[in-house]
Structure 1
Amino acid sequence: MTEKFVERIDAVFLPVKNLEESLAWYQSVFHFPLRWKNKRMAGLEIANNCGFHLVEVPDYEPSDQYTPLNFVVEDVKKVREMLIRKNVTVSNWRNGEPKRFDVTDINNNLISVIQL
């Protein structure tokens, strides 16, 4: 088969050390509604056809070398200021386009916030 056959990415699974703490953090900081939850994983609602799931891996050690995903926002400057007011750890502005910065979650995962 030489033609593309994958339609889209259905879900991203972000490892976290403690599911309950991480779920509370993402819901309070980003206001993502809960779609589903079981003992080890939870699905959060970001947009239609976009699965963002937290998966508990107690001995997980995140990398500080890259961001595994981007959150796209309409006004990156406004979102950055709001996150700072919530005492969320944010990076300096990144060089180049798109306009972006990184957020550090309570597990030390880096996530980029970008404006397209």
Structure 2
Amino acid sequence: MSSIFKRIDTVFLQVKDFEGSIKWYCDVLGFTLRWKDEKSGYAALDIGETPLTLVRATKEPIKSASISFNFFTPDIEKAHQLLIQNDVNVGSINEDGQVKWFKFQDLEGNELEVCHFIE
């Protein structure tokens, strides 16, 4: 562990529909809005230790070829069902023996991932 750095403070995700994305992440994934700065286009969402900060894109966001981060869940089947019930584009649950995961897309088509493992 670093003696200087304690944690990742936040994870940033660019979105075109700033207000719609805030609503989607709160309504569908159950996150809560910690704070929002309408003028500069930042909104921090509480989801646990590290917040997700949505950033209003000023131009077309560049889609990454790989997943930048994933969400941990203690119950992957429940998380998977929740997303399906909310009409989210969800992939199937994968397993490699120790880790289970699945991919999904947010309101804007950002590809994200959910994982589970025994802590």
* Corresponding position of 1:19: 18
Structure 2 unaligned runs (5+)? none
For the 8 Å contact 1:62–1:107, the answer to whether it is kept is: no
The 2-side partners of 1:95 and 1:17 are apart by: 33
- Equivalent position amino acid for 1:24 in 2: K
CA displacement, residues 45-76 of structure 1 (integer Å, 9 cap, x when unaligned): 112x412110011411323x211111111110
CA drift of 1:25 comes to 0.7
Secondary structure of 1:89's partner?
A: coil
The 1-side partners of 2:67 and 2:85 are apart by: 22
The 1-side partners of 2:26 and 2:115 are apart by: 19
Structure 1 unaligned runs (5+)? none
The 2-side partners of 1:41 and 1:98 are apart by: 33
Matches within 5 A, 1:53-92: 53-57=53-57, 58-63=59-64, 65-92=65-92
* Corresponding position of 2:109: 108
Pairwise CA RMSD of aligned residues?
A: 1.6
TM-score scaled to structure 2, two decimals? 0.85
The 1-side partners of 2:3 and 2:93 are apart by: 35
CA drift of 1:81 comes to 1.2
The 2-side partners of 1:105 and 1:9 are apart by: 22
The 1-side partners of 2:99 and 2:73 are apart by: 11
CA drift of 1:5 comes to 2.8
Q: How many residue pairs get matched?
A: 112
Secondary structure of 2:51's partner?
A: strand
Secondary structure of 1:71's partner?
A: strand
The 2-side partners of 1:69 and 1:23 are apart by: 18
